Amino acid sequence: MSHEITPSRVAEERTPKLWTGDYYNEGISHEGVFDKLKEECGVFGVFGHPDAASLSYYGLHALQHRGEESAGICTTDGGDFNYHRGMGLVKEVFDKDRLGSLIGSNSIGHVRYSTSGESKLANAQPLVFKYRDGDLAIATNGNIVNANQIRKELEAKGSIFQTSSDTEVLAHLIARSSKDFVAATKEALQQLVGGFAFLIMTNNKLIAASDPNGLRPLTMGRLGDAYLFASETCAFEVVGAELVRDIQPGEMLIFDENGVVEDRYSEMQRRSLCAMEYIYFSRPDTDLNGANLHAARKRMGKKMAQESFVDADIVTGVPDSSISAAIGYAEETGIPYELGLIKNKYTGRTFIQPSQELREQGVKMKLSAVRKVVEGKRVVMIDDSIVRGTTSRRIVNLLREAGATQVHVRITSPPFKNPCFYGIDTPNRQELIASCKTIEEIRQEINADSLAFLTKDGLIEAIDSYSTQELNGGLCLACFDNDYPTEVQFHGTEKFGCGCE
Ligand code: SF4
């Protein structure tokens, strides 16, 4: 019998309700304080290592930036599942005792932001089910575009869903099939449309699968005889594992006691790895599709300098994601790179209800301008993207208040005009400033002396992955060019552009 190590009622009651104003998360977008995009989720899996839970803990910790709302690990030694999930950071959800009780050599783990489904413990992953052939656990990164449609069809046939997570439809599709687990999983994956990376575990098998376009990253590593899986390679580094390869679009790898079967459930469609992984989401020490993120971001900064040079006294990057690009801009132009902005490293949660005034001041809790560095200087401020424009305006104003005489903003991606359907939590189109305003209007809105965006071609050239010969360099650029690599389901005004057109 499976048993869940449930948090005590007291602890559960103390768990804050996310995004309801019960607490103020200064690390990520909320209530317009930080209008950065919310990263999606991170997955980490182990097959064949006696310390699977501990490896997962460290792996998930390295992937923490991909999801701070909940964390979970499910393990098995070939028999019962042991699992624990909770709201909060990995280090908050797991302690030594909990990890010690997660016995088994196979595991899948997850860190989450809610990109689909509500933010609550029931939706924390891995999702765990009992079905005809035993236990089933699923951890996913991404979004199933046709999940609602499948869900309605399944409910009409009698399925009862336990969560509002789109991932649960996969479990139902597998469970309803009369075929064996692998064939049922293959058939189920073939019905899904979207951008997703799955780790699926039974009592004796583990499957790693990527969507047919490879929208969301999933990599495989090796540690001795064990196989590891992670959304980003930085998670392998922390446990001393070596990268083997990326899971290819449409591929499903099946691991059991007989070894590994490399199979496909779909032909590869147009390869479309999310460009925002390179621009913003992934850690700089991660390699994606053959390109190191720090190096790629430096090239974006260099390319930016070639496309939109502006003379200045110093270059500074908005920490942390834009520091690499700022170094690249500085190297290309010879303008010195300086730490003009400092990030408050504490990105946890404070249990205060911020007043409107505090919300307005919120950016100062996260970032400080270094007066002695920027005072009297013409500053080039490098950032990775502009979503609503509110954060950019606040950071520009921080620099001005600290004495910068000019602030020139350079964005290392094209204007972000379109919503994402593949697991990135983006506002509606009408809230995206670039969908409604010209570059000059945005410049005025964010109070910059000048503003320029990296071109689409410049971005593709800068990323320089081994998919360069493919369409768009093997990248999804839909939030910039509206060219979605799959069918998508638009709602309301999204399809026809912003409400202010
Ligand atoms: S639409 Fe944008 S954020 Fe979404 S997968 Fe494509 S590139 Fe990434």
C-alpha 478 – ligand 1 centre gap (Å): 6
Q: Write down the CATH number for the domain with range 277-495.
A: 3.40.50.2020
C-alpha 385 – ligand 1 centre gap (Å): 13
| 3-class DSSP state of 57 | helix
Q: For ligand 1, which residues put their CB under 6 angstroms from it? A: 195, 215, 274-276, 420, 422, 424, 476-479
Q: Are 391 and 363 in contact (CB under 8 A)?
A: yes
C-alpha 261 – ligand 1 centre gap (Å): 30
Task: Render pLDDT for 133-187 as a digit per residue (tens, 0 to 9).
Answer: 899 999 999 999 999 999 999 999 998 998 888 899 999 999 999 999 999 999 9
Closest ligand 1 atom number to CA of residue 419? 1
In the chain, the percentage of residues whose pLDDT exceeds 70 is 84
- Compute how many other C-beta atoms are within 10 angstroms of the C-beta atom of residue 492: 10
CATH class of the domain defined by 39-269: alpha beta
- What does pTM read for this prediction? 0.89
* 498 has binding-site annotation: no
Indicate which residue's Cα is closest to atom 2 of ligand 1: 479
Task: Report how far apart the first and last C-alpha atoms of the chain are (Å, whole number).
Answer: 58
* 384 has binding-site annotation: yes
pLDDT score recorded for residue 32: 39
Q: Structural domain boundaries of the chain?
A: 39-269, 277-495
Q: How many residues does the chain have?
A: 501
Indicate which residue's Cα is closest to atom 8 of ligand 1: 274
CA dist., res. 199 & res. 207, Å (int): 6
Closest ligand 1 atom number to CA of residue 418? 1
* 420 has binding-site annotation: yes
Indicate which residue's Cα is closest to atom 5 of ligand 1: 274
For every one of its 501 residues, what pLDDT tens digit does the chain have, with 9 covering 90 and above? 344 433 333 233 333 333 233 333 333 333 334 566 765 799 999 999 999 999 999 999 999 999 988 999 999 999 999 999 999 999 999 999 999 999 999 999 999 986 555 667 888 999 999 988 899 999 999 999 999 999 999 999 998 998 888 899 999 999 999 999 999 999 999 999 999 999 999 999 999 999 999 999 999 999 999 999 999 999 999 999 999 999 999 999 999 999 999 999 999 999 999 999 999 999 999 999 888 999 999 999 999 999 999 999 999 999 988 999 999 999 999 999 999 999 876 655 444 444 555 555 666 667 899 999 999 999 999 999 999 998 899 999 999 999 999 999 999 999 999 999 998 888 888 889 999 999 999 999 999 999 999 999 999 999 987 777 889 999 999 999 999 999 887 654 444 334 333
C-alpha 484 – ligand 1 centre gap (Å): 9
* Strands 406-411 and 450-453, bridge-based pairing: parallel
* 74 has binding-site annotation: no
Closest ligand 1 atom number to CA of residue 37? 3
Give the DSSP per-residue string, 329-392.
Answer: HHHHH-PPB---EEE-S--SEE-----HHHHHHHHHHHEEE-HHHHTT-EEEEEES--SSSHHH
* 234 has binding-site annotation: no
C-alpha 279 – ligand 1 centre gap (Å): 11
| 3-class DSSP state of 367 | strand
Catalytic residues: 41
Closest ligand 1 atom number to CA of residue 276? 8
Q: Is residue 348 exposed (0-12), middle (13-18) or buried (19+ Cβ within 10 Å)? A: middle
